[in-house]
Amino acid sequence: MRTAVVIAAFDAAATIQGVLRGLAEVFPEGVALIVVDDGSADRTALVAERAGAVVVRHGHHRGKGAALRTGMGEALGRGCEVAITVDADGRHPPIDARRLHDASDDPDALVLGVRDLARAGAPRSNQLSNGFSNLAISGLVATRLADTQCGLRRYPIAATLGLGGREPRYGYEAEILIRAVIAGVRIVEVPIGALYPPGNARVTHFDPWRESPRIVRRVLATVLELRARTLLSRVFGERPRGGALGDGV
């Protein structure tokens, strides 16, 4: 498989070099390391370029979802079939990114990293919110999913972009997962590790009070859209593009 590693980075100058060095150690030459600098105010782009990454810049902060789409578009233009997404904060062990790469020979599969948050020492709030998301999204798509929020994934690039995900921020990953399951994309789950430093050393731009309601709205809007497609397909006897709720599960 022709592979890219895509990193959405916002004000990540303190961690991006270590992330890229770790990835370069576990991936062979020929794997494109693509950093999308999402309007950072620090030296993220410069540090990433000096570490050997291809850097694509957003002129202003647009959000993680928009950065992932930009990175996958860049990877597609470079002839890549799959994109492994890695967070810029160093929370994903590089060897696990390689494990996702090797987990399936099917370039059309969506490979999901599955964390044990309790064992990793994640804050209790993270464990509870992730557990709730897993139950809710699994129920909505009638498919059991072990970790719906992990950012370490291997996407089939063309299929993912073709699903039409629109969320620009953190809800993009949940939206794409729902669309992929409903469209019948093969899902592969792989146990991975996760690194959670002490609270005062943790770097995150995720504000649960602001972002969680946005994610919920995007999930509900996606499900309503797909239900409407299902209804139209039944009325007109046509299968809507990209699948519909009830198809492929």
* 140: containing domain: 3-236
Break the chain down into helix, strand, coil percent, rounded to 5.
45, 15, 40
pTM: 0.85
249 domain-assigned: no
CATH number at residue 114: 3.90.550.10
243 domain-assigned: no
Q: Which amino acid is at 201?
A: A
CA atoms of 61 and 72, how far apart (whole Å): 17
247 domain-assigned: no
pLDDT tens-digit map of 154-191: 999 999 999 999 999 989 999 999 999 999 999 999 99
pLDDT tens-digit map of 197-218: 655 445 566 555 566 677 788 8
